[in-house]
Amino acid sequence: MQVIVVGAGVVGCAIAYELAARGAAVRVIDPRGSGQGATRASAGMLAPYIEGHSAALLQLGVAGLDQYERFIGRVSADARRSIEYRRTGTLQVARTDEEARALERHGRALADSGVTATMLDQGELSRSEPALTTEARAALLIPPHGYVRVAALMEALVGAGVNRGVQLVVARARRIAHLNGRAAVETAEATLDADAVVLAAGSWSGGIPVDTAPSPPVRPVRGQILQLRLPQPPLSRIVWGSGGYMVPWEDGSVLVGSTAEEVGFDESVTADGVRRLLERAERLVPALGGAVFEGARAGLRPASTDELPIIGPSKGMPGVFYATGHYRNGVLLAPLTASLVADLVLGGGERPELQLVRPDRFGL
Ligand SMILES: Cc1cc2nc3c(=O)[nH]c(=O)nc-3n(C[C@H](O)[C@H](O)[C@H](O)COP(=O)(O)OP(=O)(O)OC[C@H]3O[C@@H](n4cnc5c(N)ncnc54)[C@H](O)[C@@H]3O)c2cc1C
């Protein structure tokens, strides 16, 4: 079975790896090489149980998290390299009594669905995270959450894919069509055909015409993120609060995210974005005011109109599959997406999660 994957972000590379691991001959096409796009800016949090997720997104996220440990183990072994991946848990911080009550309600709802989540009072919080602002009154600890260091994951995914025979083609897909009854991708240099084509071009998926089918309704939502560094990790867990989050890596780096901006396809980092994130970081962890500034990145999150991914076969184009619209959760959902797509393309049956993400809900 020959497959072409359009887009080498985390979603496209995870799909390529999974297909190749199951025996397919895979080419991945991307004009920028691998791990660019939204993936490059991602915080890599694996956190499905946060407040505000729809029931469908929660179900997908939980299924995605369930697969992570095994996926990291397989990719790491196939690539022969380690990947920083830790289930540190998250702390969602309240500064007011009202916020604390809302967190308690959320904790009870999680407990009702079988997820252990614990409220920490101010004393417990300052003992477990002494670098946090003393304005933090309470926090909800959700132990199953964690993060993966995305650049390390991407290097390993690409390495594991190459070891399984994946070829990376540096080219821009201009159109997806049929050629002699096979699915095909047209680039400036050539038309490449295969048994199946998977459109996984993130925010750009809507701009690649698919013959006889409408384009997927995906729009870019820019997110900016900072990377700061202290000599020692200032936090032991991911912390949410004051409208943002911090992800502490083992080496003392801390990711501070993020903005959400409707600015079209503009991938710039802005002075205003950096200033707002720095203020947020210092408000939550005052010591970060003295941190080394390691960099800032911006990425375009691919948002579908119902904020759920679009995964599955095209109705009008046999041999064409969509895997896009992962919005804020593409890293969390990449292994699940890869197994859903591989099942479909290679005929391995359909998992129940597929019903939540089918392209035909948009007439695709
Ligand atoms: C600031 C920020 C923080 C985030 N934090 C998290 C988080 O903590 N956890 C989480 O799970 N998710 C997070 N996300 C979301 C996550 O990063 C995205 O959902 C995910 O990266 C989407 O991956 P993708 O492969 O679909 O798209 P992308 O990574 O955008 O990749 C799409 C690829 O398609 C390529 N492409 C474009 N046009 C073409 C073409 N014509 N032909 C071929 N290729 C093309 C692009 O070059 C790009 O490489 C975050 C995003 C941002 C911006």
Distance CA 65, CA 71 (A): 10
**Is the pLDDT confidence value at 53 over 90?**
no
pLDDT (average), residues 32-56:
94
Ligand 1 nearest-atom number relative to CA 297: 1
| 276-314 pLDDT per residue, tens | 999 999 999 999 999 999 999 999 999 999 999 999 999
Residue 202 CA to ligand 1 centre (angstroms): 5
Cα-trace Rg, the chain:
21
What number does the ligand 1 atom closest to the CA of 333 have? 11
Say if residue 258 is in the same domain as residue 323.
no
- Length of the chain equals 364
Supply 10's token pair.
Answer: 């985390």
More confident residue, 349 or 271: 271
Q: Give the distance (Å) from ligand 1 centre to CA of residue 258.
A: 15
Q: What is the mean pLDDT of residues 24-32?
A: 98
Ligand 1 pocket: which residues have CB below 6 Å?
6-12, 29-32, 36-39, 41-45, 172-173, 200-204, 208, 223, 225, 257-258, 299, 301-302, 324, 326-332
Q: What SS3 class is residue 268?
A: coil
Mutational pocket test of ligand 1: of 18, 32, 39, the residue with most ligand atoms within 8 Å of the beta carbon: 39
Ligand 1 centroid – CA 203 distance (Å): 7
pLDDT of residue 312: 97
Indicate whether 32 and 13 sit together in one domain: yes
Task: Give yes or no: residues 174 and 192 share one domain.
Answer: yes
Dihedral, 332, 170, 5, 357 alpha carbons, nearest 10: 40
Q: Which of 304, 331, 352 is the last residue of a domain?
A: 304
Look up the CATH number of the domain holding residue 71: 3.50.50.60
**Domains contained in the chain, number:** 2
The pLDDT of residue 272 is 98
| Amino acid found at 362 | F
Quote the distance between the C-alpha of residue 160 and its chain's center: 19
> Does 187 lie in the same domain as 277?
no
Q: Hey, CA dihedral for 350, 356, 357, 358, is it positive or negative? A: positive
Phi and psi at 19, nearest 5°, equal: -65, -45
When pLDDT is averaged across residues 27-31 and rounded to a whole number, the result is 98
pLDDT of 185 reads 98
- Is there a single domain that holds both residue 9 and residue 59? yes
End-to-end CA distance of the chain: 24
Band (39; pLDDT cuts 50, 70, 90): very high
Element (H, E) at 75: helix 55-79
Rounded Cα distance, 73 and 171, in Å: 31
Please answer whether residues 48 and 62 qualify as being in contact, where contact means their C-beta atoms are separated by less than 8 angstroms: yes
Q: Are residues 76 and 134 in the same domain?
A: no
What is the residue range of 293's domain? 88-144+219-304
The pLDDT of residue 242 is 76
Residue 104 pLDDT class (50, 70, 90 cuts): very high
Cα(24)–Cα(19) distance, integer angstroms: 5
Q: Structure tokens of 33?
A: 């090489």
Q: Which of 9, 20, 62, 57 is nearest to 345 (CA)?
A: 20
Tell me the C-alpha distance between 205 and 324, whole Å: 7
- From start to end of 122-195, where are the E strands? 138-142, 146-148, 167-169, 175-179, 182-186, 191-194
Closest-CA residue, ligand 1 atom 15, reads 328
Ligand 1 atom with the shortest distance to the CA of 34: 49
Ligand 1 centroid vs 114 CA: distance in angstroms? Answer: 31
Do 156 and 272 share a domain, yes or no?
A: no
Cα→Cα distances 239→97, 244, 248, Å: 18, 8, 9
Regarding whether 58 and 37 lie in a shared domain, the answer is yes
Shared domain check, 349 and 278: no
- CA 274 to chain CA centroid, Å, is 21
Residue 52 has what pLDDT?
A: 80
How crowded is residue 231: how many other Cβ atoms within 10 Å of its Cβ? 9
Per-residue pLDDT at 363: 92
User: Which pLDDT belongs to residue 117?
Assistant: 95
Which residue, 256, 277, 304, sits at the end of a domain?
304
My answer on whether 173 and 288 are in the same domain is: no
| Residues 124 and 233 both lie in one domain | yes
Ligand 1 atom with least separation from CA of 147:
8
Do residues 186 and 140 both lie within one domain?
no
What pLDDT digit, counting tens, does each position of 168-227 carry? 999 999 999 999 889 999 999 999 999 999 999 999 999 999 987 888 999 999 999 999
